[in-house]
Amino acid sequence: MHPTAERFQEKLRELGAAGEVRELPNSSHTATEAAVELGTTVDRIVKSLVFLAGQKPLMVLCSGVNQVDTDKVAGVVGEPVGRAGAKTVREATGYAIGGVPPVGHAHPLRILIDRDLMTHSELWAAAGTPNAVFPTTPDELVALTGGEVVDIRVDD
């Protein structure tokens, strides 16, 4: 297993998570790629996205089929929100874009969780590299992250 994925697996164990990191033979860099590789639906893939609320990094865990409505996120956090660049993502989380997990970050982050993720029995999230994922449940995701479940998706 890739050393970064191994390190993340250890973090999951420390946190008491039930899931095991799984490395996929092909890239799971995007939610669609991950869903295809796992034989699941895109809405069960957790996208870990980093935004800046003012100058402070903020993580949004979003269903793979949804886009984040930054106005809704700004309403929750009380200040304007914009996407973080690759350097900020790595500094805040310790991981590169495409493999950012929902927990185990370099620095504590406020975490918002897309309420649409709560409708599934099983979810899959990144585990440190573009090819590594781990299974979780909505309740476990909330417990592991301490995240706030909110409505953050762009409405059709």
User: Would you place residue 132 in the very low, low, confident or very high pLDDT band (cuts 50, 70, 90)?
Assistant: very high
pLDDT, tens digit (0-9, with 9 covering 90-100), for 71-130: 999 999 999 999 999 999 999 999 998 899 999 999 999 999 999 999 999 999 999 998
Supply the range of the domain harboring residue 92: 3-150
Residue 140 lies in a domain: yes
Give a yes or no: residue 10 inside a domain.
Answer: yes
- Cα–Cα dist 153/31, whole Å: 15
**Cβ pair 152, 72 in contact under 8 A:** yes
Task: Tell me whether residue 111 is in a domain.
Answer: yes
- Res. 33: pLDDT tops 90: no
| CATH number for the domain harbouring residue 142 | 3.90.960.10
Question: Is residue 156 in a domain?
Answer: no
- Within a domain: residue 44? yes
Instruction: Quote the CA–CA distance of 133 and 5 in Å, as a whole number.
Output: 9
- For 38-81, the pLDDT digits (tens) are 999 999 999 999 999 988 999 999 999 999 999 999 999 999 99
Instruction: For residues 132 and 23, give the distance between their C-alpha atoms in angstroms, rounded to a whole number.
Output: 4
User: Is 155 among the domain residues?
Assistant: no
Q: Is residue 17 part of a domain?
A: yes
Per the prediction, the chain carries an average pLDDT of 93
Number of structural domains found in the chain: 1
Q: Is residue 89 part of a domain?
A: yes
Confidence of residue 31 (pLDDT cuts 50, 70, 90): confident
